[in-house]
């Protein structure tokens, strides 16, 4: 394994705290991602292409785009995150870094959480930042765009956290991308429904606090449970590889 790819944690240094370990994993994943810029650009290009081509393939009418724009952006964001999930653990699995992670004295679920947050910052957050431009292109009003960005800011971490479970379960399998989609997309449906429902309620002038509270509950549950499930799935996948 190359020295610049190895994790900056040492097995003999059991005194390192969990927070420092998470920061080290997070920083290492960010550095590695910027050395493989095509993996960073692919989800953004896919997101932009889907949103841009949808009016051409369905209908360019302003009334239709205003009504369906939030759904278009949410589905495009969901598919873009899904496109990048296969690489969440794949590179570390191929070069042996993942085995080193499992040998660390810190809890594996915390290190998985750090990797997932790095994935969200590099994939989900850029999608949120790009959304206002594409939202205006779909003729969404300012209030709808702001609400859409807020729902994506809450919902995209859930997509990364839940997706980490599927990425861990399919690690090392053939046709992992197809199997990952079949496993994860049904779990994304509640987030998609409430994400688009929040924007629709905001466009009608209805209160959105209840929708946002439910999405916040999804995020809390994902932060609480998904790292444990992904860590357990990683142990299963590595024991069978």
Q: Where are the domains of the chain?
A: 18-240
Give the mean pLDDT of 21-42: 86
Q: Yes or no: say if 98 and 235 are a contact pair by the CB < 8 Å rule.
A: no
For residue 85, give both structure tokens. Answer: 């999930």
Sign, CA dihedral 62-68-148-30, equals: negative
Provide the pLDDT confidence category of residue 7 given band limits of 50, 70 and 90. very low
Q: Which residues contact 72 (CB under 8 A, 6 or more apart)?
A: 50, 51, 54, 65, 138
pLDDT digits (tens, 9 = 90+) for 135-163: 998 888 888 999 999 999 999 999 999 99
Residue 3 has pLDDT above 50, yes or no: no
Give the mean pLDDT of 14-36: 82
Q: Strands, E, within 14-75: which ranges?
A: none
Provide the pLDDT confidence category of residue 17 given band limits of 50, 70 and 90. confident
Where do we find the tokens 């009418």?
61
For residue 37, give both structure tokens. Answer: 């810029």
For residue 4, give both structure tokens. Answer: 């610049």
pLDDT for 5: 42
Residue 6 has pLDDT above 50, yes or no: no
Cα 92–chain centre separation? 17
How many Cα neighbours within 13 Å face the side chain of 125?
7
pLDDT for 16: 63
The whole-angstrom separation of Cα 101 and Cα 103 is 5
pLDDT for 241: 63
Give the mean pLDDT of 174-200: 87
pLDDT for 146: 93
pLDDT for 240: 73
Q: Which residues contact 75 (CB under 8 A, 6 or more apart)?
A: 50, 192
C-alpha distances in Å from residue 98, one per residue of 50, 51, 101, 121, 146: 33, 35, 5, 20, 39
Average per-residue pLDDT for the chain: 86
Residue 116 has pLDDT above 80, yes or no: yes
CB neighbour class for 234 (10 Å; exposed up to 12, middle 13-18, buried from 19)? buried
């Amino acid at each position: 394994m190359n020295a610049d790819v190895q994790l900056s944690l040492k097995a003999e240094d059991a005194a390192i705290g969990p927070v420092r370990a998470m920061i080290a994993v997070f920083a290492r994943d960010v550095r590695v991602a910027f050395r493989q810029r095509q993996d960073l650009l692919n989800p953004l290009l896919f997101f932009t292409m889907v949103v841009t081509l949808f009016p051409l393939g369905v209908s360019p009418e302003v009334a239709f785009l205003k009504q369906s724009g939030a759904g278009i952006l949410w589905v495009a964001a969901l598919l873009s995150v899904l496109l990048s999930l296969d690489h969440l653990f794949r590179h570390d699995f191929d070069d042996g870094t993942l085995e080193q992670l499992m040998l660390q004295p810190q809890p594996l679920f915390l290190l998985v959480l750090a990797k997932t947050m790095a994935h969200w910052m590099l994939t989900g957050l850029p999608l949120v930042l790009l959304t206002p431009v594409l939202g205006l292109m779909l003729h969404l009003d300012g209030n709808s765009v702001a609400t859409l960005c807020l729902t994506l800011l809450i919902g995209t971490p859930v997509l990364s956290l839940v997706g980490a479970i599927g990425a861990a379960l399919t690690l090392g399998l053939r046709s992992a991308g197809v199997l990952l989609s079949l496993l994860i997309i049904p779990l994304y449906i509640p987030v998609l429904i409430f994400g688009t429902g929040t924007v629709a309620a905001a466009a009608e002038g209805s209160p959105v606090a209840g929708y946002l509270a439910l999405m916040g509950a999804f995020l809390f549950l994902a932060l609480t449970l998904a790292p444990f499930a992904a860590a357990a799935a990683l142990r299963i996948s590595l024991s069978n590889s």
